[in-house]
Structure 1
């Protein structure tokens, strides 16, 4: 059996697993519209989903785009964008104008599993290829933002593409937007990040808050269906299924005592921290 056929069977088996443990959804309905997200066609990988949208004329050229057009889109009962530090807000609204240096640290318990997933899944599908060695991120990541629009020209979201400078390998191909969740205890808008996969996606919903004099905290806890957390969606035949994943994430974006913008990112599996990432963010052209 060729490697390509084996990979195809593994991917099919993975989708069948998530179908079995998941709940059937209809992303085209008002009830499940919060789970709508781009996905790669059969055989697609990496940012081929964006190539398809670009070919259809729905993607702006790379420029000074941000992950969000205006952080005020997140204003709600637990968040007010006007309270954010100016640098934090500028990063999210003008992401293309920022570069990043990255440091990573795995929990030794999860490091072998992380290396396996990155090598045999992440690099093959060019998605969610989490850095497994501090040296792999020692030269930083490239950062490209492209705004995605609807047929009427309105903004649908933003694609954030990141690759390792050291070898050019893709790390993330994410789609960013704002969503209000049906199971949340209030009407607080959340940051939605979707990572398109073949015939499906991984989606993470993060609750924002302002802490420590203007820092941004984004928290994703895996709780009941319809609340903030991580979800996996798959298409099987012409039917869609969604399941919660036991992943938790926390981001803290803040200005340090030397007026440098930084981000601490923690990824947990259940109650245990699996990976910590630290980013130093710099405006392009700043010394």
Structure 2
């Protein structure tokens, strides 16, 4: 059995050891669709962006206009019938995310709220990542939404697209994720979000779909490794790679066009029970 990297906070070591015990050892060359950057033990947030750029000799570009989570919606390989139903404003948001403001509200299931408080206290506040508010927010609060790209200095090709979301009032990082697309072993094209963590990452892979009402639905639900869903990945003390697929944790995001803006509803569930719900208002800057 592998052992997690020892020179780190005990709670990080313990959760990584859980991934090793309950997950499986993998060869990253066999599953490029799953792999993504790993964080360091000394902080995530904006520090990780600087560390990744330095490690891979990439150029950081911030506050660029017309940068999106994905360069083209065509990369999702949706059927023409779905694309014809989908609101062009939803497509524009994903291709030009940097041009939009976000406000959000949060509603917790009270039975899971203690879990959120515990995660924030033990992990999120310290590592500056996945810092979800543990209070219900009824009146929407403004987020600062920034797209940061890391590009190759010679080819000028974008290697990583990072979506950094912070509270506008305090500057507290909520999410720092690397976004793109991937193709599952089944051939399904998905949106992929990688959230760096100490010695590893949390990766969410979401299947896109379009409703008859023109809404975009992204869903991370599957039954087994290789499906869409939620994954923990890490390096152990000897540099071996491990993966844990958490089929009980699911994420469903629905984005729709309103009269003068977009709205989105994101529901996180565990064991098919609602943990919390986010509501977003998305409008042009």
Same fold (TM over 0.5): yes
Match of 2:14 in 1: 13
Which residue in 1 is equivalent to 2:134? Answer: 132
Kindly provide the CA deviation profile for residues 18-72 of structure 1, in whole angstroms up to 9, marking residues without a partner as x. Answer: 1111111122x1x211121112123232233311233433432321211011111
Per the alignment, residue 44 of structure 2 pairs with: 45
Alpha-carbon distance in 1 for matches of 2:251, 2:232: 15
1:225 maps to: 225
2:246 maps to 1:247: no
- Contact kept, 8 Å, 1:196 with 1:202, in 2: the verdict is yes
Counterpart of 1:157 (choices 155, 160, 175) is: 160
CA RMSD of aligned residues (A): 2.2
Question: What 5-or-longer segments of structure 2 have no aligned partner?
Answer: 1-5
Q: What are the residue-to-residue correspondences of 1:1-287 with 2, within 5 Å?
A: 8-27=9-28, 29=29, 31-55=30-54, 56-64=57-65, 65-76=67-78, 80-81=82-83, 83-135=85-137, 138-150=140-152, 152-182=155-185, 184=186, 187-236=187-236, 237-245=238-246, 246-256=248-258, 258-284=259-285
Deviates more, 1:145-154 or 1:12-21: 145-154
**TM-score (normalizing by structure 1):** 0.88
User: Matched residues in 1 for 2:62 and 2:27: separation?
Assistant: 32
Preserved CA contact (<8 Å) 1:79 1:210: no
TM-score where L is the length of structure 2: 0.89
Cα distance in 1 for partners of 2:169, 2:125 equals: 15
| Contact 1:222/1:247, CA 8 A, preserved across alignment | no
Relative to 1, partners in 2 of residues 1:281 and 1:52: Cα closer, same or farther, differing over 3 Å? same
Paired residues of 1:77 and 1:188 also in contact (CA < 8 A): no
Distance across 1 between alignment mates of 2:13 and 2:146: 30
Q: Which runs of 5 or more residues in structure 1 are unaligned? A: none
Residue 69 of structure 2 aligns to a residue whose secondary structure is: coil
Shift of 1:78: 9.1
Once residues 18 and 250 of structure 1 are traced to their aligned partners in structure 2, the CA distance between those partners, rounded to angstroms, is 24
